[in-house]
C-alpha cells in the first residue's frame, strides 16, 4: 500500500468513525436497540465504501464534507448486511472482525432488528441532508435502493444462498458477486460523482470502473478465505468451503483466480485513464483492493 493512499484511508476513516455514532445516539429509541446497532457499527473494518465517496469528491476537487452523510449511510447499510449475513439462518458465523457477532451478544431477534434499524436510518440521513438540493437527494436515495435492494445486494444474497452446494458457472458466480458486493461498492463511487456534479459520461465510465473493482474485491475475498490470516481477517477462514459455496478459486483454481483478479484490476485502470480528472487516488484504491490482507 502506498504511503499516500494509506494516509488518505486512515484520515478519512477516522472522520467517518467519529461521525457514525452520532446518527444512532440522537435517535429517540429504546437504548437496547441503539446499543446493538452501535456494537456492530463501532466494530471497525476497512470503511472502504464510505471513504470511496470522499475519494471521488477529492478527485473532482470538491469539498469532501458534502459526502459525509452519504458515506455514513453507506457504512450503515454495509453493517446491516453483515449483521444479517452472520445470522444462523444465513452464514451462521460466530465472529466478525475478531469479536462475537451481533446475534451472539444480543440474540437473533435483536440482531435482525438492529440490522433493520441501520438500513432504514441510512435513507433518513440522506433525506435530511441540508446542503444538497432535493432532486439530487431523490436520485441518491433511488440509486441506493437499487444498489442494496432486490436488484442489488439482496438479490445477490438470494442467488448466493440458492447456489450453495450446486455446480455454478463463472457467469453464475459473477452475477452473484456483481449484485452482492459490487453494486454497493459502485454506489459509493456513483454517489461521489453525483455529489461532485460529474458529467453523465463520467458517471457511465465510473459505473464500469466500479464493476471491475467490485468483482476484484470479491475475488480477493475468496482468495483470503483460503490463504488469509485468521487473526488479520478477524473471522475464521475456510467458511466458503464449509458452506459449500462456489468461489473463484474453486471454479478457476487459485492461479486462475489470481489471474482473473489482475485482469479486473487492469480493466478498471484502463477505464480510469479515459477520464479527464486526476485518477491517481482511485487507481491507488484499485491497487489496495487487489493487495489487501483483510
Q: 124 CB contacts (<8 Å, ≥6 apart)? A: none
Q: Are 246 and 172 in contact (CB under 8 A)?
A: yes
Say whether domain 3-291 belongs to CATH 1.10.600.10. Answer: yes
Across the range 65-79, mean pLDDT stands at 98
Instruction: Tell whether pTM > 0.95.
Output: no
Q: Which residues contact 133 (CB under 8 A, 6 or more apart)?
A: none
The full set of domain ranges for the chain reads 3-291
Cα dihedral 143, 169, 49, 3 in deg (nearest 10): -140
Q: What count of Cα atoms within 13 Å lies in the side-chain half-sphere of residue 250?
A: 20
**Residues paired with 96 in a beta bridge:** 99
Q: How far apart are CA 41 and CA 77, in angstroms?
A: 10
Q: Is the dihedral of CA 209, 197, 133, 19 positive or negative?
A: positive
pLDDT tens column, 140-155:
999 999 999 999 999 9
Q: What angle do CA 73, 193, 67 make, to 5 degrees?
A: 35
- Residues 230-254 have pLDDT tens digits of 665 555 565 665 556 789 999 999 9
What's phi and psi for 103, nearest 5 deg?
-70, -25
Amino acid at each position: 500500500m502506498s504511503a499516500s493512499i494509506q494516509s488518505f484511508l486512515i484520515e478519512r476513516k477516522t472522520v467517518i468513525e467519529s461521525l457514525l455514532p452520532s446518527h444512532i445516539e440522537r435517535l429517540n429509541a429504546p437504548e437496547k436497540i441503539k446499543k446493538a446497532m452501535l456494537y456492530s457499527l463501532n466494530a471497525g473494518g476497512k470503511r472502504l465504501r464510505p471513504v470511496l465517496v470522499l475519494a471521488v469528491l477529492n478527485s473532482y476537487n470538491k469539498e469532501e464534507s458534502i459526502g459525509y452523510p452519504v458515506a455514513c449511510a453507506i457504512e450503515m447499510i454495509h453493517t446491516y448486511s453483515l449483521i444479517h449475513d452472520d445470522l444462523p439462518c444465513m452464514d451462521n458465523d460466530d465472529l466478525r472482525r475478531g469479536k462475537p457477532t451481533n446475534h451472539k451478544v444480543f440474540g437473533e431477534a435483536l440482531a435482525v432488528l438492529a440490522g433493520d434499524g441501520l438500513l432504514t436510518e441510512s435513507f433518513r440521513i440522506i433525506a435530511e441532508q441540508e446542503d444538497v438540493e432535493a432532486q439530487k437527494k431523490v436520485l441518491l436515495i433511488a440509486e441506493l435502493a437499487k444498489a442494496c435492494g432486490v436488484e442489488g445486494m439482496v438479490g445477490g444474497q438470494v442467488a448466493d444462498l440458492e447456489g450453495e452446494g450446486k455446480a455454478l458457472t463463472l457467469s453464475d458466480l459473477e452475477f452473484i458477486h456483481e449484485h452482492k458486493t459490487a453494486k454497493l461498492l459502485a454506489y459509493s463511487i456513483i454517489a461521489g460523482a453525483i455529489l461532485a456534479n460529474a458529467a453523465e459520461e463520467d458517471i457511465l465510465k465510473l459505473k464500469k470502473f466500479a464493476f471491475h473493482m467490485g468483482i476484484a474485491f470479491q475475488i480477493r475475498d475468496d482468495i483470503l478465505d483460503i490463504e488469509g490470516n485468521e487473526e488479520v481477517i478477524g473471522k475464521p477462514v475456510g467458511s466458503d468451503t464449509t458452506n459449500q459455496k462456489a468461489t473463484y478459486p474453486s471454479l478457476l483454481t487459485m492461479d486462475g483466480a489470481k489471474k482473473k483478479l489482475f485482469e479486473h484490476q487492469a480493466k478498471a485502470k484502463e477505464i480510469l485513464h479515459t477520464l479527464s480528472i486526476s485518477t491517481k487516488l482511485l487507481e491507488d484504491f484499485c491497487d489496495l483492493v487487489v493487495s489487501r490482507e483483510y
